[in-house]
Structure 1
Amino acid sequence: MNVQLGLKENWPQFVLLVIVNMLVGGMVGLERTVVPLVGTAEFHIDSGIIIFSFIIAFGVVKACTNLVSGVLADRYTRKKVLILGWIIGLPVPFILAYGPSWNWIIAANILLGISQGFTWSMTVNMKIDLVGPKKRGFAMGLNEAAGYGAVGLTALLTGYLAAHYGLRPAPFYIGIFYTIAGFMLSIWVVKDTRAFAQLESTQVSKASEATPTPNLWWTFKEASFKNKNLRAVAQAGLINNLNDGMSWGVFPLLFITMSVGVEGVGWIKAVYPVVWGVGQIITGPLADKIGRKPLIVAGMFVQVLGHIVIGMKIFPPLQAGLVGSVFLGVGTAMVYPALLAAVSDAAHPNWRASALGVYRFWRDMGYAIGALMAGIVAHFFGLMMAVHIAGALTFLSGVVVWGSLKEDWTKQKH
């Protein structure tokens, strides 16, 4: 195989991986609108913590899987880990459609978390491998645009199906197509990209190349605590997904109580990830041009505006949900590819997959923390208070990045 770095040189595989990640994202979109409503309407659960338990299970498992996915990819190849992720995800849509109790829904989310940790991580790493250092922001923008665009469109579609055919099983049938198509493409068409990472590792400076490849514990400490810049990136990723975890569980229940119909909730749940996804087509390349820090800081503050619009009831409920979700989507689009690119800037290709796994561990732990926070706060103070607290934490996170992240570090070039 002729190994050359660059998007132009590898565009067929890059486009294929974009399509695969759309299928990966679609699997998460299955749950955005319908599953919280299944808990209240079908299983008659009235505890916010229990309702949000499926998000907590998903977030914790996905975060931990992210952590080991890079190590497995470096050891067994990216393609093998991608295929494993699809195999684990095959039962998920069937369990969501026909599971007889809430425990089955939680079990499906454990499998989904493992599947997402492997499949999404590999599409990230494989695109980074292919394009080389100059187009990382662009690559991450397209990757996340495909994934989260599919999340939003699937959330909208499941809301429509639920409104017309009931909460189960019809909305989950499309997940069967997603898993089979993703599995078959990964086996028969996707090619492994580890050779591209190995090529890049030979092109970095001799000083960096002489450094022994660190183990996962070293990488975890460096990316989580010791390096001031990486620490700032990790906390921003966590708070960003705390917003997503909170909205995942809170928004369907909140807007239903405000007399918004199921189809309207589907639109609210779709706008956030669709704007988030499509926006990254612009913000990914922008991160390569102006640096990572401006987008991260501004993006966190734009998300705060989304919380204000929803929490202050400036508009009628449906309009507030849609406008607030647009702000949340724009803000997230600004930070997502910039954060991934910033981590990739700092890591040697020999341990970049592991560093991205550590970052994505903290980022996706935000799902669980956001859902747990929302469940506890909603139980004692109501659903709207969870929105207010998430907004305050997002503001503080932006301030931390503003004060901690060094601009010259975020703009460094290999």
Structure 2
Amino acid sequence: MEQKVKLGLKNNWLQFTILVIVNAFVGGMVGLERTLFPEFAELEFGVASKTAILSFIVAFGMTKALTNYFTGKLANRFGRRNLLLLGWVFALPIPFILIYAPSWNWVVFANVLLGINQGLTWSSTVVMKIDLVGEKDRGLAMGINEFAGYFAVGVVAFLTGMIAQEYGVTPYPFYLGIGISILGLIITLLFVRDTRQFVRMEQKTNETRQLENVFIQTSFRDKTLSSITQAGLVNNLNDGMIWGLLPMLLLSLDFSQQNIGIIAAIYPAVWGIGQLFTGKMSDIYSKKGMLFWGMLMQGLAILLIPTLTGFYQLAVIATLLGLGTALVYPTFLSAISFATPPRQRAESIGVFRLWRDLGYAIGAILSGILADLFGISFAIFTIGAITVLSSLVIKFRMPRDYKGSEG
């Protein structure tokens, strides 16, 4: 007999809190690499080409993107919890490979596993929280979820920078990953419950029209869904560039590992903390407006990076970039959820996250090639201009918001 369930954050606070903690561990796995990898590549493996160094982000982004899609497709069939558990199994070998890798190809392989881990775990926790809270607090739920994940990225990025400064880039920073992956698996196994019954309950009263083809509508045809999707792709395109090129730029400016760690941590930390507020804002204010201003702020901040190269100037730019990303990140998922019926929600979010995380790969390839051919500053300017253009797509293609709020 199916257990009686009630939608809402208040009714499901305990399970919601457990999922927030799990997603903090998910974000921590990405934070392992956020500060160290350019120096790790050059010192340990003699990899100096910017395109070659960024190959780890390409591997991560493409694998995560495809895993997001299949997680969305399979969530109803196999259960969110089972996919979350599987994601943690893929995480377990990653820190050991990074510690003992005999060649750069093994590091790239570790990032394939990281992409699978992130696609399965982050997608599952996103969908499970949306299932639990219902329509009223969906933006708040996404804000808390993304705060936990990205604040953890920032914290672990800072810690790895500190450890690397004291003990070297390997192996000590990667020991954090061993603890994170084991704890994430244990907490999921013991405390997380599946949420499919919440979807079945919500579907009974939901009147959102069914999408004829979830992939085509989310990617191209539906003006709301496709506008959000292109912005998600560009958001992660610029994040892939920041992940790969910003530490290289700071190294070229003779910043210490500790200062690189601080600047690399400010952006995801502000992004994470900001979502505690912007998530709830997306339940109240114009989703279209938040997406437009967030993408525009990101683009303008990126355009300033090559021209303002002092430590405090770059710290301010990282803060603005984090605020811009905080405006859009929970709003993406909240808006997608409003535009799709409950039974198609996981798949539509999976399609969105497919394109969004392909942005990592596209951003790493594009910025790496441009940096090798024309220099890091040219690559950064180009990515900034693309981000500004994306904000204009939101402004002029995305229709008026739901529930009568103007864009």
**Both structures adopt the same fold (TM-score exceeding 0.5):** yes
* 1:103 corresponds to: 105
Give a deviation string over 1:330-350, Cα, whole Å, max 9, x none. 000000011111111111101
2:224 matches 1:229 = yes
Runs ≥4 residues deviating over 4 A: none
The counterpart of 1:301, out of the listed 296, 303, 307, is 296
What is the letter of the counterpart of residue 85 of structure 1? G
1:382 alignment partner, one of 371, 375, 378: 375
For 1:84, the equivalent position in structure 2 comes to 86
- Residue number among 315, 329, 335 corresponding to 1:322 in the alignment: 315
Instruction: Give the Cα–Cα distance (whole angstroms) in 2 for the partners of residues 167 and 43 of structure 1.
Output: 12
Q: Specify whether residues 390 and 411 from structure 1 end up closer, same or farther in structure 2 by C-alpha distance, changes over 3 A only.
A: farther
Partner of 2:285: 290
Encode CA deviations 1:149-197: one digit per residue, 9 max, x unaligned.
Answer: 0000100000000010000000010111110011011111001111111
Match of 2:347 among 346, 354, 367: 354
Which of 241, 248, 251 pairs up with 2:243?
Answer: 248
- Residues 306, 326 of structure 1: 8 Å contact kept: no
TM-superposed CA distance for 1:52, in Å, is 0.2
1:410 deviates by 7.3
- 1:48-67, aligned counterparts within 5 Å? 48-67=50-69
Gaps of at least 5 residues in structure 2 are none
* RMSD between superposed Cα atoms in Å: 1.3
Displacement of 1:306 in angstroms is 1.6
Instruction: Output the CA distance in 2 between the equivalents of 1:283 and 1:410.
Output: 18
Query: What CA distance in whole angstroms lies between the structure 2 residues aligned with 1:402 and 1:203?
Result: 32
Residue equivalent to 1:7: 9
| Matched letter for residue 74 of structure 2 | L
Given that 2:287 and 2:401 are in contact with CA atoms closer than 8 Å, whether structure 1 keeps it comes out as no
SS at match of 2:192: coil
Q: Which residue of 1 aligns with 2:156?
A: 154
Alignment of 1:5-404 (within 5 A): 5-205=7-207, 208=209, 218-313=213-308, 316=310, 318-404=311-397
> Residue type of the partner of 2:284?
K
User: Given the superposition, is the C-alpha separation of residues 182 and 312 from structure 1 closer, same or farther in structure 2, using an over 3 Å criterion?
Assistant: same
- Identity level (%): 48
TM-score calculated relative to the size of structure 2: 0.97
Find the aligned partners of 2:403 and 2:99 in 1 and give their Cα distance.
Answer: 45
Number of aligned residue pairs: give it.
403
- Whole-Å separation in 2 of the counterparts to 1:71 and 1:373: 29
- Alpha-carbon deviation of 1:307? 1.4
Q: What displacement does 1:226 show? A: 1.2
Provide the rounded CA distance (Å) in 2 between the counterparts of 1:239 and 1:308. Answer: 15
Unpaired runs of 5+ in structure 1? none
**TM-score computed with the length of structure 1 as normaliser:** 0.95
* C-alpha distance after superposition, 1:14-62 (max 9, x if no partner): 0110000000000000000112211112211121111000000000000
1:408 equivalent in alignment to 2:401: yes
Q: Matches of 2:119 and 2:303 in 1, distance apart?
A: 32
Q: 2-side partners of 1:384 and 1:345: how far apart?
A: 39
Contact persistence 1:342–1:410 (CA under 8 A): no
Q: One-letter code of the match for 1:322?
A: A
For each residue in 1:229-283, what CA deviation from the matched residue of structure 2 results, as whole angstroms up to 9, or x when unmatched? 1111011001101111001000111101001111111011100100000000000
Deviation of residue 305 (structure 1)? 2.8
For residues 404 and 194 of structure 1, do their structure 2 counterparts lie closer, same or farther at Cα, with a shift above 3 Å needed?
same
* Cα distance in structure 2, aligned partners of 1:245 and 1:378: 13
